[in-house]
Chains A and B, each alone.
Chain A
Amino acid sequence: DAKTTQPNSMESNEEEPVHLPCNHSTISGTDYIHWYRQLPSQGPEYVIHGLTSNVNNRMASLAIAEDRKSSTLILHRATLRDAAVYYCILNAGKSTFGDGTTLTVKP
């Protein structure tokens, strides 16, 4: 499986934007970039996914580098409910998730 690298933790203030980076330098042309988040003792929740173009949905935006070797999940206005572990993963269905980024949101 192609591997992703994320910072272990990040902090944000409430109502400010958050940019969560992910490196995936060995990505192949057919690999989809998926983002999920997980609260303690809950199942992962789908956030967003994309292949080549930037993507927007009601939860977040996904910015994909032109060479596709990195991507950034953007939460436009962080709330306390956005505090979670965020996973960046390629072709999530058959892959083992890494450690993700633990996002702390300060009031």
Chain B
Amino acid sequence: DSGVTQTPKHLITATGQRVTLRCSPRSGDLSVYWYQQSLDQGLQFLIQYYNGEERAKGNILERFSAQQFPDLHSELNLSSLELGDSALYFCASSVGGAPFGYTFGSGTRLTVV
């Protein structure tokens, strides 16, 4: 157990639907990062939050959004789902960025049918 909790572990949904993925960071970590990993691509950075505020954006689609709540857990919302959104979604947390290293969760496997 890495200390980063992601739920659900598996999710199957239909095209056009909306889903919410949840991440609880390791205790004491203020930063949360979201990644997408599909079969034909590596780990793509999506977005980072630090203590409730958005800090950096990567290759995140407009149909995707995220937020970090006062208790520091984060949610990634995926809407108007397409077949190509099927992927593993990972959350990572860190005390404060590159000098400290990152701890990844075990991921949510999303299948869009």
Listed in ascending order, the chain A residues whose CB lies under 8 Å from chain B are 31-32, 34, 36, 41-46, 49, 51, 87, 91-100
Instruction: Give the chain B neighbours of A34 by CB distance below 8 A.
Output: 98, 101-102
Asked whether, in the complex, the Cβ of A96 is within 8 Å of the Cβ of B44, the reply is yes
CA distance A94 to B57 in the complex (A): 8
Listed in ascending order, the chain B residues whose CB lies under 8 Å from chain A are 2, 4, 31, 33, 35, 42-45, 48, 56, 58-59, 88, 90, 92, 94, 97-99, 101-107, 109
With a 10 A CB-CB cut-off, give which of A43, A46, A93 has the most chain B CB atoms.
Answer: A93
Asked whether, in the complex, the Cβ of B31 is within 8 Å of the Cβ of A93, the reply is yes
What are 5 A-to-B residue pairs whose CB atoms are below 8 Å? Answer: A42-B106, A44-B43, A91-B97, A93-B56, A96-B45
| Top 9 A-B residue pairs of the complex, sorted by shortest distance between their CB atoms | A43-B104, A97-B43, A91-B98, A32-B98, A94-B56, A44-B104, A97-B42, A96-B44, A46-B101
Instruction: Give the chain B neighbours of A44 by CB distance below 8 A.
Output: 43, 90, 92, 104
Asked whether, in the complex, the Cβ of A96 is within 8 Å of the Cβ of B59, the reply is yes
Q: Is the interface of A mostly helix, strand, loop or mixed?
A: loop
Instruction: Give the chain B neighbours of A97 by CB distance below 8 A.
Output: 35, 42-43
Instruction: Give the chain A neighbours of B90 by CB distance below 8 A.
Output: 43-44
The contact of B102 among A31, A46, A96, A99, by CB within 8 Å, is A46
CA distance A95 to B103 in the complex (A): 14
CA distance A93 to B104 in the complex (A): 10
